[in-house]
Amino acid sequence: MAEKYDVVVIGSGPGGYYAAIRAARRGASVAVVEKGLVGGTCLNRGCIPSKSLLASAHTLLDARDAAMMGIDVALAAPNWKKIKSRKNAIVSGFRKGLTGLISANGIRIIAGRGVAEGGGMVRVETESGAEQIAAENLILATGSEPAGLAEIPFDGTVVISSDEALDLAAIPRSMLVIGGGVIGCEMACLYAALGAKVTIVEALPQLLDTEDEWVGRLLKREFNKLGIETIVSQKATRLEKTESSAKVTLHDGRNIAAEKVLVAVGRRPVIDSETVESLGLKMNGVSVSVDEGMHTNTDGVYAIGDLVGTTYLAHGAFAEAEVAAANATGGNNRIGDYRLIPRAVYSFPEVATVGRTEKACNRDGIDFSSGRSSFAANGRSAAEGRTAGEARVLQDKSTGAVIGVTIAGDTATEHIAAARALLGGREKITDISFPHPTMSEVLKEAWEDAFGQSVHGPPR
């Protein structure tokens, strides 16, 4: 007879493990099915490894700027082997800790491919064969993968995705980054700091096109100081490659040669087609369609995280997991305003936004005022030698309420957690989203722990 659980979660990324622990803390019997590594994309191929590499790159830039601070430092050079070793140690340490945390909450981890068969049954294909388990409620948290371009197909060697970019054998002499969004900007900064000649090609009119125009102008200026060439309003149309390099032709006929071509045009949800068919899931394009309670159109089945295509953020998945876990265990929760989930970009300089942008206000006809302050006029910023950027706060003139904050500058991703407190109403701390990964998360963890609600603390 199949072992039965109150809640089965397929996927152990930020949304999956968070939902599993929340459900277990509410008294449910829970199993997590994971076909890859515990922690999903965020821990193994995204948030944590990328920020580890970026931290090394930031340290390298600081060392090179030491003379400006009155410090004599010998020539600083990257040791790629040690940089990667440090990154891998951080990732493996967190993976071990997360596996222990899940188990400590009485949750069974099953390694294998999970396929929902309908009728509350889940087939798990493991190395030793297939196993069936029964689920009273099912939470789908199967994440996403890098999106590709038909004209510039991945080969994993010369034309790479962000997965390969985090573990290259050597620092390339040159890199063409196709896509000026979050991943493209972060990876461009990383490899430019390490010494590669980097060019970004973006089809839209600016870098980080979802943000305000001033952010795009600022990044283009600061990226130029790093040696990054930025080309906007251009598409890559054709690829010619050898075993060790490539030449990409742009729409205007220009040719760009590079040792590596990183295609960073976003991510797309991943879900097993058998699961979609067996459950009769309603889709919203390539994403699973859900309501505000993270319910799919199939009773007892929920979907969260990148799979539903809402934020493509780890902390967005946390927020959705909170709702899904509560509802799968008898609750009646609803997701809040997605605009109150901060966006964070770990480029040089960083960019972080919460609430509305000036673009959104203009689009929606909101009469607003914009307050701003420059990092260059801030004493601490000047003392630290980090003066690029500014902060802008938007106020709705009709209500007087703060409706949006954008910060572009040093540690912007840390500041945005405090800025988030300016928006919204009287939410519980568990409803307030802190960007991940940031040091500011320690405040939320301590706050939640004080009330016995921390997922990452020991069970109580």
Which tokens sit at 336? Answer: 């809040």
Q: Give the residue numbers marked as catalytic.
A: 436
Kindly report whether the peptide bond that precedes residue 269 is cis, defined as omega within 30 degrees of 0: no
Three-class SS of 85-146: HHHHHHHHHHHHHHHHHHHHCCCEEEECEEEEEECCEEEEEECCEEEEEEEEEEEECCCEEE
Helix, strand, coil percent values for the chain (each to nearest 5): 35, 25, 40
212 and 406 in contact (C-beta within 8 Å)? Answer: yes
Distance of alpha carbon 136 from alpha carbon 300, whole angstroms: 7
Structure tokens at 239: 């690829």
Q: Quick count: other Cβ atoms within 10 Å of Cβ 3? A: 12
Residue pointed to by tokens 């260059």? 376
- Residue 43, token pair as written in the block: 């821990």
- Residue 295 gets which letter from DSSP? B
